[in-house]
Amino acid sequence: MKAYESLEEHFAEFYRLQEIMSVLRWDYATTMPAGAAKARSEQFATLKSLIHERVVDPKVGGWLEEIGDGEGLDEWQRANAREIRHLWTHTSSVPSELVRKRSRMETRCEMVWRTAKEDDDFDRLAPHLQQLLEVTREIATIKAEALGVDPYDALLGWYDPGMTAEKVDAVFDDLAGFLPGFLEEVLDKQARLPEPANPEGPFELERQEALARRLMEAWTFDFDHGRLDTSLHPFCGGYPEDVRITTCYKEGDFLRSTMAVLHETGHALYSRGLPKQWRTQPVGRARGMSVHESQSLFVEMQVGRSQSFVHWAAPLYREAFGGSDEAWSEANIHQLKTRVQRSLIRVDADEVTYPLHVILRYRLERELLGGDLEVEDLPQAWDESMEQLVGIRPQNDREGCMQDIHWVSGIFGYFPTYTLGALMAAQLFEAMSQEISDVEEAIEEGNFGVLREWLRENIHRRGCLKSTDALLREVTGSDLDAKYFKEHLKKRYLDEQ
Amino acid sequence: MKAYESLEEHFAEFYRLQEIMSVLRWDYATTMPAGAAKARSEQFATLKSLIHERVVDPKVGGWLEEIGDGEGLDEWQRANAREIRHLWTHTSSVPSELVRKRSRMETRCEMVWRTAKEDDDFDRLAPHLQQLLEVTREIATIKAEALGVDPYDALLGWYDPGMTAEKVDAVFDDLAGFLPGFLEEVLDKQARLPEPANPEGPFELERQEALARRLMEAWTFDFDHGRLDTSLHPFCGGYPEDVRITTCYKEGDFLRSTMAVLHETGHALYSRGLPKQWRTQPVGRARGMSVHESQSLFVEMQVGRSQSFVHWAAPLYREAFGGSDEAWSEANIHQLKTRVQRSLIRVDADEVTYPLHVILRYRLERELLGGDLEVEDLPQAWDESMEQLVGIRPQNDREGCMQDIHWVSGIFGYFPTYTLGALMAAQLFEAMSQEISDVEEAIEEGNFGVLREWLRENIHRRGCLKSTDALLREVTGSDLDAKYFKEHLKKRYLDEQ
């Protein structure tokens, strides 16, 4: 089928350009001297426009039409055509002029945000956020029409194809009903225990890095196809042949850098495990941001903060830094890794409160986009939600509604994926435990290859062959359900079996 | 003038793609994990073809025609149109199919060379080199016709626009007449002195790097727009906003890594000093590979091996490694830096013998391309020339005609630029000494900013505004002439004033 072959060839080039983009991004975050920022932003713009041209190329629409329902194609090819159609509809439905307009507004709004946040001056940010919101609404409406979905679902579906507000509501309402009360219980229980002690630093950065590499190796990270470096914020970049993760070391805290490394290693294993023969095609990419996050949280949260993991890791920590006192004990390290606190800042939040931060943002962004909340009323709405959900009230907007970069850089519909990923991670861990009887033993022995293999077989190597729903049902026997996550929390934080 | 503006816009994108290519190349040489080689080669191919498309775009020809002799344009714009015409004629005259054919042959020939060299098996390489030679000849003939020059000059002019075999012959014949006898004299003189002693290592790599950075800083290398890293072979990559040099450290020899850093710093200063407002246009790029090499050799050879430089640097060397015995004395270090030896390998050759290695290659590649020498007869011709020019005969082809990567990767017409650069460096240093009376004093004090400023004003910031000939005449008052280099050698190696 010639049309299909043309599509594949076309998208192979598209992904090579994406790969190049990811090298430039990695370089920007880890390596580039500051003075090159302007040149780099011009390179980004050039590359971005070449990539965009390829997706919206009218030829793609023609080929897709010719392919129709994909008769004569095999399962993977049909799925590939479906993914291309999704990408193409999402992208080509929006007039280029509008894309450029949003891009300019994003740059401007993010720039204003940086100083407005520093000065705690929401009023300065508000008009820019308002404009960005309007153009986002306009784009969401156009996409919604082309895709035959609701506008918010069009935004959500860009990051997590197939996800809808209806599905999100179902699990988030469940969690929002459960977590505040659960949080009280956990805090009560913690209050009855002695405070965990912090191991005493400083912790040499070279040793932190060596420890990080040790953890990555235990997870079978392939250094022949990947790297570990440092950047201001940890991330996982690159592509399957060259997966590059970063972390950020602080002399006073080695747990933070190593937990970040575990998180990014989860992303990296996913990327590296994607189906090799489809690497330059949409069907061979990650299933979506929720599934991606499920992989990082699987490694960081499900495994990395478990009792079994600490049993294996605590001796490594002691060895890495020559620690020996009580603060280095398995029990204390586990207590540190599972400490729960009401906090204002999402990125610092623990496993229990994190979903509340996400639910707050999800609800507010839907109200903003739906016109039920005005930008000027955002700070108050934020503070009230925070008090209601997390039980703590920000004293300023810097630690309130201005803390995140997402909205001010035009990213709406992304926040839910963090918590959807957490739910999936719990659901997957439960399914794995059903299939592999000695998971905890494997973890205690640091034998993560077994877990990695299960994830690779069940998730990674399937790329986008199935929808997220179908994948979850096949692998876990159930639709996305918050109960696995809730059970996981109860077991970990209240010792309930 | 609309046509001219279109040209500028078109080439701005062209250079942004070139910049991206240079980031990928740097990453490939310094950072990329080995397993990503295949993906990277696909990225290179994609980008290369996008870059090529932009140069050969028929629109460029149309705009150039419209611009004609550049009436209404200012001096820089006219020069830019001239440079674009040169680039366009060179590139668009060759059919794309022939370009692809050569590219395949280059890859293949270079691959065969790697193992054939290891096994010292020229016969295995010969047929591939033969094919590559034939396609190079074909391309040279096509370009020559389009440019109205001789075929070899078309190859030479790709690296050094305006350069011709006639000009090369003039200076190379002069040198070839002078150097063998001069070499005898220098070796005689050296033989009468005690052997210089090698400072005793090992020299910690971190200290070598710190020393390298110290030297770069003294030369005003701008680390806000550049980097120093390590790679297998030293090079200077990047672009004016982000100039990245590399070196290669060996525990047993710190002079080698630091001299390489000085060499690459010369290239880097040139790149960084190019006219800012023209950075994305052909007129704003380096004048050619000979001028580029003149800048690196200016820093490494003219300055970096001078008595004055060693006077400044020897204490730094001692400080860096805690050296104190006689081997660390100014006199001994200078003796090491100016040691002359007959040697087989070009890249290890000293300042005196290096041009002989180049002349040998230049003459042989002209004979090969002109059909006066058959590939099968190359080893013998090489060995005989080597004996005649350098006075030493290779025992195998690995250290003979198979030592360099240039020919086997399709690079013909490049070798002369090394020595043309050396001649220009000497000529420029002489001109600078006429203008700045206390050059030696500045060097003795490590005040290289003065020299950098002179180079920037006279060479760097002028980009491609003038031809190399015109530039040299303006700055030095003379055409390219080997006499300055010869005088420099006589002064440095025979103490003749």
Q: Give dist(CA B68, CA A112) in Å, integer.
A: 47
Question: Per-residue pLDDT tens for A6-65?
Answer: 999 999 999 999 999 999 999 999 999 999 999 999 999 999 999 999 999 999 999 999
The SS3 call for residue A253 is strand
Which residues from A are below 8 Å from B17, CB to CB? 46
Q: Which residues pair with B365 in a beta bridge?
A: none
The CA distance from A427 to A484, in Å, is: 5
Compute the distance between CA of residue A44 and CA of residue B23 in angstroms, rounded to an integer. 12
Task: Give alpha helix (H) positions in A322-414.
Answer: 330-337, 354-370, 378-389
DSSP state of A237: E
Q: Is the pLDDT of residue B345 over 70?
A: yes
Q: Is the pLDDT of residue B102 over 90?
A: yes
Check A224 against B40: CB less than 8 A apart: no
**What is the per-residue pLDDT across A459-474, written as a single tens digit (0 to 9) for each?**
999 999 999 999 999 9
**Structure-derived torsion over alpha carbons of residues A329, A332, A336, A342, reported in degrees to the nearest 10:** 180
Pick from A202, A263, A248: nearest CA to A418:
A263
pLDDT of residue B497: 66
Angstrom distance (rounded) from CA A12 to CA A282? 9
Catalytic residues of A: 264
B448 forms beta bridges with none
* Cβ atoms of B224 and A34 closer than 8 Å: yes
CB B300, CB B262: distance < 8 Å: yes
Positive or negative: CA dihedral B252, B258, B263, B264: positive
pLDDT at B126: 98
Could A46 and B225 be called an inter-chain contact, meaning their C-beta atoms sit closer than 8 Å? no
Cα–Cα distance between B113 and B90 in angstroms, integer?
28
The CA distance from B156 to the nearest CA of chain A, in Å, is: 31
pLDDT at B174: 98
Tokens of B399: 């250290």
Q: Enumerate residues 38 to 57 of chain A having a beta carbon within 8 A of any beta carbon in chain B.
A: 38-40, 42-43, 46-47, 50
Is the per-residue pLDDT at B17 higher than 80?
Answer: yes
Q: Considering CB atoms only, which of A20, A31, A224 is closest to B43?
A: A20
Q: Which residue of A has its CA nearest to B39?
A: A241
CA dihedral B159, B163, B164, B165 (to 10 degrees): -70
Query: What distance in Å separates residue B258's CA from the closest CA in chain A?
Result: 22
Catalytic annotation, pick one of B264, B300, B365, B430: B264
pLDDT digits (tens, 9 = 90+) for A217-226: 999 999 999 9
| CB nearest B33 (choices: A16, A34, A224) | A224
> Which chain B residues have a beta carbon less than 8 Å from that of A46?
13, 16-17, 20
Question: What's the whole-number mean pLDDT along residues B150-155?
Answer: 98
What confidence tens digit (pLDDT) does each residue in A383-426 have? 999 999 999 999 999 999 999 999 999 999 999 999 999 999 99
DSSP-assigned letters across all residues of A138-190? HHHHHHHHHHTS-HHHHHHHHHSTT--HHHHHHHHHHHHHHHHHHHHHHHHHH
pTM over 0.90: yes
* Predicted pLDDT of residue A496: 78
- Measure B94 CA to nearest chain A CA, in Å: 24
Range B110-202+256-497: architecture per CATH = Orthogonal Bundle (1.10)
Q: A–B: how many Cβ contacts below 8 A?
A: 77
Residue A128's identity, in one-letter code, is H
Q: Where do the structural domains in chain A lie, given as residue ranges?
A: 1-92, 155-497
User: Does the CB of A226 have a partner CB in chain B at under 8 Å?
Assistant: yes
Distance CA B85, CA B92 (A): 10
- CA–CA separation, A108 vs A489, rounded Å? 41
In the numeric block, the tokens 């509809």 are attached to A89
Inter-chain CB proximity A47 and B225 less than 8 Å? no
Q: Closest CB to B224: pick one of A33, A38, A47.
A: A33
Residue B442 pLDDT: 97
Cα angle for residues A233, A234, A235 (degrees, 5° grid): 115
B37-66 average pLDDT score: 95
Query: Phi first, then psi: what are they for B251, rounded to 5°?
Result: -60, -30
- Across A66-70, B295-299, B475-479, least confident range: A66-70
**Interchain CB distance below 8 Å, A226 and B33:** yes
Q: For residues B278 and B77, what is the distance between their CA atoms, to the nearest angstrom? A: 10
Q: Judge whether B433 is closer than 8 Å to chain A, CB to CB.
A: no
Residues A101-150 have pLDDT tens digits of 999 999 999 999 999 999 999 999 999 999 999 999 999 999 999 999 99
Give the minimum alpha-carbon distance from A279 to chain B in angstroms, rounded to a whole number.
10
**Which CATH architecture group holds A155-497?**
Orthogonal Bundle (1.10)
Who wins on pLDDT, A495 or B17?
Answer: B17
Q: For residue B496, what pLDDT band results from cuts at 50, 70 and 90?
A: confident
Model confidence at B1: pLDDT above 90: no
Structure confidence at residue B105 as a pLDDT band (50, 70, 90): very high
Q: Which residue in chain B is spatially nearest to A42 when comparing CA positions?
A: B16
Indicate the Cα dihedral angle B140, B7, B25, A30, nearest 10°.
170
Position B238, amino acid: G
Q: Supply the mean pLDDT for chain B.
A: 96
Q: Is the dihedral of CA A271, A272, A277, A280 positive or negative?
A: positive
In the chain, the amino acid numbered A437 is S
Share of chain A above pLDDT 70, in %: 100
Q: Are A46 and B222 in contact (CB < 8 Å)?
A: no
Cβ atoms within 10 Å, residue A64: 19
Distance CA A248, CA B192 (A): 59
What span, in angstroms and rounded, lies between the C-alpha atoms of A281 and A464? 10
